[in-house]
Amino acid sequence: MRPETLSVHVGNEADPATGAVAPPIHLATTFRHGPSGERVAGYEYQREGNPTNDRLREALAALEGGEDAATFASGMAAMTGLLECLPNGARVLIPDDCYTGLRMLCAEYLPERGIEAVAVDMGGLDAVRAACAGGVALLWIETPSNPLMKVSDLAALAEIGRAAGAVVVADNTFATPLLQRPLSLGADVVMHSTTKYFGGHSDVLGGALVFARRGELSQKVAHRLHITGATLAPFSAWLTLRGCRSLGARIAMHCANARRVAEFLAAHPAIERVNWPGLPSHPGHAIAARQMRDFGGMMSIQLRGGREAALAMAGRLRVFTNATSLGGCESLIEHRASVEGPHPRSPQNLLRMSVGLEHVEDLIEDLRQALG
C-alpha cells in the first residue's frame, strides 16, 4: 500500500472490543496479571509498553518501512535513547548543519563519556570517507538540514557509513516518510521528532526511532527506554496517531504552499537567497529530486539587508507567527541566530520558515507587505 493509505489505516484499525472506528486511549498505568506474574494480554506496566503506544509504533514502522519502532516523550529523548546505547569512547559523525539540540547534546553530554562527535559537511562524500577512517560507531544524517536546508545523499552516505561499520541514522523530521524513506536507501535507524509534522497541530510533544531490523540494537534501545523511563504518554501517542491520519493530505498542501512561497521570495529583490531544495537553483536539488517525492514545507531565506532587514521583516508579518518549532497548520517564522544562545551558528540575515496550511495567497500577501 502507498504511504497515504498506510498513514490513514495502520495503527488506526477499529477497536476489536467495540467496533469504534477511532482507536481507544488506554490510560492504565498497570495491567492485571496472574498470581505468578502471567500477563493477560502482553502488558504489565505503562512505562514498559501500552496498547495506545503500540498502535503508534506499528504505524511509524509501517510508514518508514522498518521492522520495529520505539516511541519517546520527545524527539530529544529519542535521540538520547539512541546515543546512550553507544559504548564509552566511541566516535560519532554529525552534520555541520543540524538541529541545535543534537549539537548541544554532543557538546555538553557526550564528552563526559569519552565520546567524540565530529562535525562534517555531509555533502562532501570524500570528507565523510576520510572522517570515517578514524573509526566511527555512528553516522548521523539530517537531510534537508536545519536551518540551511542542505541536502545530503542518503544512499551514498549509508553505504559509506555501513562500510565503516557504523550505525547509520537519519533524522527524518523535516521530510517525513511521506516524502523520503531513509531505511529503503540503506539507513539502519530513522529518528523523528513527532512533535512536528506527525502531530501536525503544535499541541503534542513526542519522538521516535524506527529500526530497519528488529534485533540487538532495537532491543537494547527498548530495554533502556523501559528502565530510564522517557516513555511517551498514551494521550500523546493517541494525538500523534490522530495526526497520522491526515499526514498525507497535510504534507501535500505544505509542499504546494512552500513551492509558491519559495518562487515568490526567490524573485523578490530584497531576498538574497532562498534555501528550499525544490528550487532548481538549490545546490542539492538534483539529489533531493532523486530521493524525495516532493520538497517539504520547510525553508530558510537570507535577506540582502542583513540582520536589521531580517528582524524588520519578521516583525511586520501578520499571518506568519514568530515562534520556534515547525510542522503545524499555522505558518511560523524565526530569526534563528536570536534563539541559538550565546554562540549562534545561523547567518544573521537568515529567517527559518515553516510554511503552513493557510491559503497561499494570504501567505504571499503577508510576505509582500512585510518586505515593504
Ligand X SMILES: *Cc1c(COP(=O)(O)O)cnc(C)c1O
Which is nearer to ligand X, 80 or 349 (by Cβ)? Answer: 80
Tell me whether the omega of the peptide bond preceding residue 147 falls within 30 degrees of 0, making it cis.
yes
Q: Does 291 bind ligand X (CB under 6 A)?
A: no
Q: How far is CA 40 from CA 18, 36, 57, 178, 222, in A?
A: 19, 12, 21, 36, 21
Which is nearer to ligand X, 76 or 233 (by Cβ)? Answer: 76
Q: How many Cβ atoms sit within 10 Å of the Cβ of residue 20? A: 10
Which is nearer to ligand X, 99 or 211 (by Cβ)? Answer: 99
Q: Report how many residues bind ligand X under the rule CB under 6 A.
A: 14
Which is nearer to ligand X, 43 or 99 (by Cβ)? Answer: 99
- Cell numbers of 127, please? 570528507
Interface of this chain with ligand X, residues 92 to 121, rule: CB under 6 A? 99, 101
> Looking at 49-57, 58-66, 162-170, 188-196, which segment touches ligand X (CB under 6 A)?
188-196
Q: Does 76 bind ligand X (CB under 6 A)?
A: yes
What are the DSSP calls for 16-58, one per residue? TTT--SSPPP---SB--B-TT--BSSS--BTTT--HHHHHHHH
Interface of this chain with ligand X, residues 165 to 184, rule: CB under 6 A? 171, 173-174
Q: Which of 26, 57, 196, 282 binds ligand X (CB under 6 A)?
A: 196
Q: Which of 52, 152, 176, 195 binds ligand X (CB under 6 A)?
A: 195
Q: Does 83 bind ligand X (CB under 6 A)?
A: no
Task: Identify the active-site residue in 196, 250, 273, 336.
Answer: 196
CB of 361 to ligand X, least distance (A): 28
Residue the block writes with cell 531580517: 310
CB of 173 to ligand X, least distance (A): 4
CB of 353 to ligand X, least distance (A): 13
Nearest of 42, 25, 96 to residue 241 by alpha carbon: 25
DSSP state of 303: E
Q: Does 205 bind ligand X (CB under 6 A)?
A: yes
Are 312 and 323 contacting, i.e. CB atoms less than 8 angstroms apart? Answer: no
Residue the block writes with cell 531576498: 271
Q: How far is CA 202 from the centre of its chain?
A: 14
Which is nearer to ligand X, 275 or 309 (by Cβ)? Answer: 275
Is residue 99 flagged as an active site residue?
Answer: yes
Alpha helices by DSSP H, listed for 229-317, are: 234-266, 285-291, 306-316
Which position's Cβ is nearest ligand X?
75
Q: Does 193 bind ligand X (CB under 6 A)?
A: yes
Task: Identify the active-site residue in 97, 171, 188, 294.
Answer: 171
Which is nearer to ligand X, 31 or 231 (by Cβ)? Answer: 231
Which is nearer to ligand X, 146 or 346 (by Cβ)? Answer: 146
Q: From CA 372, how far away is CA 313, in angstroms rounded?
A: 8
What are the DSSP calls for 111-175, one per residue? GGGT-EEEEE-TT-HHHHHHHHTT--SEEEEESSPTTT-----HHHHHHHHHHTTPEEEEE-TTT
Q: Is 181 helix (H, G, I), strand (E, B) or coil?
A: coil
Is residue 15 flagged as an active site residue?
Answer: no
Is residue 153 flagged as an active site residue?
Answer: no
- Cell numbers of 139, please? 553516522
What is the contact mask toward ligand X in residues 242 to 271, using x (rule: CB under 6 A)? ------------------------------
Beta bridge partners of 333: 322, 353
Q: Does 146 bind ligand X (CB under 6 A)?
A: yes
Which is nearer to ligand X, 95 or 309 (by Cβ)? Answer: 95
Nearest of 263, 283, 237 to residue 355 by alpha carbon: 263
Q: Is 178 helix (H, G, I), strand (E, B) or coil?
A: coil
Interface of this chain with ligand X, residues 56 to 75, rule: CB under 6 A? 74-75
CB of 198 to ligand X, least distance (A): 10
Q: Does 346 bind ligand X (CB under 6 A)?
A: no
Q: Does 356 bind ligand X (CB under 6 A)?
A: no
Is residue 196 flagged as an active site residue?
Answer: yes
Q: Which residues bind ligand X (CB under 6 A)?
A: 74-76, 99, 101, 146, 171, 173-174, 193, 195-196, 205, 207
The set of catalytic residues is: 47, 99, 171, 196
